[in-house]
Amino acid sequence: QVQLVESGGGLVQAGGSLRLSCAASGRLFSDYRMGWFRQAPGKRRELVASISWSGGSTLYADSVKGRFTISRDNTKNTVYLFLNSLKPEDTAVYYCAVRPAVGSQYGSWGQGTQVTVSS
């Protein structure tokens, strides 16, 4: 069973940057995919970025493309999300999760980390 712990959130002004970390305990297999989600008050949770654990292929939501970067460090069992050019609408709780196989659901949710962007 994989357990995930997010960190790195905080309060930042618009245009600023943050780095979120997602530390995983337990074994991550090569066909796993890691995702960063966010949920703002009153809104549905959305997938903002994902990365394959093996080859590092990445996908981004259109709303963050060009501003956010996802990466992983296999030696540290950690996935990062670099948030640049932040906007007030990026304010949300950010979660990471793991998808064990193609067609399966994301799970093993962490507790989340709050990102607040002031205008």
pLDDT in tens, 60-79: 999 999 999 999 998 999 99
Spatial separation of the C-alpha atoms in residues 36 and 77, rounded to whole Å = 15
Contact 59, 69 (CB under 8 A): no
Spell out, as residue ranges, where the chain has pLDDT lower than 70: none
Give the model's pLDDT for residue 31.
85
Spatial separation of the C-alpha atoms in residues 86 and 18, rounded to whole Å = 8
Give the model's pLDDT for residue 35.
96
